[in-house]
């Protein structure tokens, strides 16, 4: 295996989570639907709001990397949901499925492209930069998700 393949493999492990923080997959097994919208102890976001934000940002970066006609969403309005809870259990399931489908698409994009490929002629952004943004952003907010789980009494390790 060459160095580029080893680096991609390492980055993919970090995108999948669990290298330095609890994977979102595990947190989603812990949260209950009835607790998704709670903002314990005056925290500014619910579990749902944070997870929705993580998913939207990952999707936005994926689109930035893959769409030639990419148009940036409006910050911060488009990056955060307008409600504290999903509209239904079905909508919650769709959100989770979208997150994992888009993560898989992002992983495939990493596997099939040069990490040093520039995203466009206007910036010096590379695929590597975008991968690191997804990892960093997800890790940052995963810590907040875990705090919410603890504050809700759903996780105490």
Residue 134 is predicted with a pLDDT of 97
Give 69's contacts (C-beta < 8 A, 6+ positions apart). none
Report d(CA 27, CA 3) in Å as an integer: 32
Residue 132 is predicted with a pLDDT of 97
Mean pLDDT within 128-147: 96
> Would you say how long the chain is, in residues?
157
Q: Which CATH class is domain 3-151?
A: mainly alpha
Q: Over 90: is that where the pLDDT of 48 sits?
A: yes
Question: What does the pLDDT look like over 72-123, one tens digit per residue?
Answer: 999 999 999 999 999 999 999 999 999 999 999 999 999 999 999 888 878 8
Q: Over 80: is that where the pLDDT of 18 sits?
A: no
Name the CA dihedral angle for 75, 71, 118, 53, rounded to a multiple of 10 degrees. 40
Q: Over 80: is that where the pLDDT of 1 sits?
A: no
Q: Over 80: is that where the pLDDT of 32 sits?
A: yes
The domain locations on the chain are 3-151
Name the DSSP class of 115.
T
User: Cα 146–6–108 angle (5° rounding)?
Assistant: 65
């Amino acid at each position: 295996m060459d160095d580029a393949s080893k680096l991609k493999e390492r980055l993919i492990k970090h995108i999948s989570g669990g290298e330095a923080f609890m994977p979102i997959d595990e947190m989603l097994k812990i949260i209950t639907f009835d607790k998704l919208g709670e903002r314990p102890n005056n925290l500014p976001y619910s579990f749902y709001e944070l997870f929705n934000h993580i998913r939207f940002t990952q999707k936005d970066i994926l689109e930035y990397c893959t769409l030639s006609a990419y148009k940036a969403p409006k910050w911060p309005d488009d990056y955060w949901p307008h409600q504290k809870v999903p509209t239904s259990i079905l909508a919650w399931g769709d959100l989770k499925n979208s997150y994992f489908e888009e993560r898989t698409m992002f992983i495939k994009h990493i596997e099939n492209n040069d990490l040093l490929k520039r995203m466009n002629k206007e910036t010096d952004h590379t695929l590597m930069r975008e991968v690191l943004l997804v990892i960093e952003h997800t890790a940052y907010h995963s810590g907040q998700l875990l705090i919410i789980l603890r504050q809700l009494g759903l996780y105490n390790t």
